[in-house]
Amino acid sequence: MGTLARPEEQMATETETPDPTTELGVPQLGLAALFVTALVTAQVTAVKVLSVGLPVTLPVTGGEILVPAAVFAYALTFFASDCYAELYGKRAAQALVNVAFLMNFVLLALVWLAIWAPISGASNVAQEPFADTLAASTGVVTGSLLAYVVSQNWDVIAFHRLRDYTGGDRLWLRNVVSTATSQLLDTVIFVSVAFLAFQGLPVDVVLELMIGQYLFKLALVGLDTPFVYLVVGLVRRRGLARSVRTTREPP
């Protein structure tokens, strides 16, 4: 086991914020933009439910799993936040997560403004299908926002705890563990609030939704790890990010 750092060494040295108008600031701005874009896309596409066939039959889910279409975009937010946390530090990553959380309310306000605004007779889209498609239910919105603020902040915390514990090594480990545990929190909170608390679905159906979504998310976690290495390595090789010092010696 490694020795604990002295109190004055407990605080990590975060990277300085690069000027976004220079080449150094482009990767940070790009990852932040990717994070927010994926998050907004996830909110808009959450209303569609997908059926994904399985090569085997599982005890709870059967031969298929049900997942919201937002699962693709939402998985991308964890990829972007892990790259961001690795390159720019814990405080910068938490700031990104919390600012993006507030942007959810901007999205909802703009969507509802578009729904409530009077429609023209020349519109090719009728009011009812437009509203039905964009207007998420109260349960979905509540569950989504609560799951987001808990899981994304946990992702940043877990990522940096593992980074400190391993002395900055094993990027694959902290990417997989932080994202897998965060996705578990996200799935349990979202499904419990949106489908159990608000819609009152039977517990067995809720459990099936949880297991199906989490299995699908785990598959995406394994797929994004090589891309985290690719992005982090590319940015560092080009000298476009300063390293973040760990707070604890490796074991």
Does residue 36 carry a pLDDT above 70? yes
User: Where are the domains positioned within the chain?
Assistant: 19-116+127-237
- How would residue 20 be classed by pLDDT, with cut points 50, 70 and 90? low
Does residue 22 carry a pLDDT above 80? no
- pTM, to two decimals: 0.76
* Euclidean distance between CA atoms 133 and 48, whole angstroms: 9
DSSP string, 145-161: HHHHHHHHHHHHHHHHH
Mean model confidence pLDDT for the chain: 81
Please give the share of the chain, as a percent, with pLDDT higher than 70. Answer: 85
DSSP string, 58-80: ETTTEEEEEEETTHHHHHHHHHH
pLDDT at res. 87? 92
* Euclidean distance between CA atoms 84 and 160, whole angstroms: 12
Fold of 19-116+127-237: Arp2/3 complex 21 kDa subunit ARPC3 (1.10.1760)
Of the candidates 237, 107, 224, the one whose C-alpha atom is nearest the C-alpha of residue 174 is 224
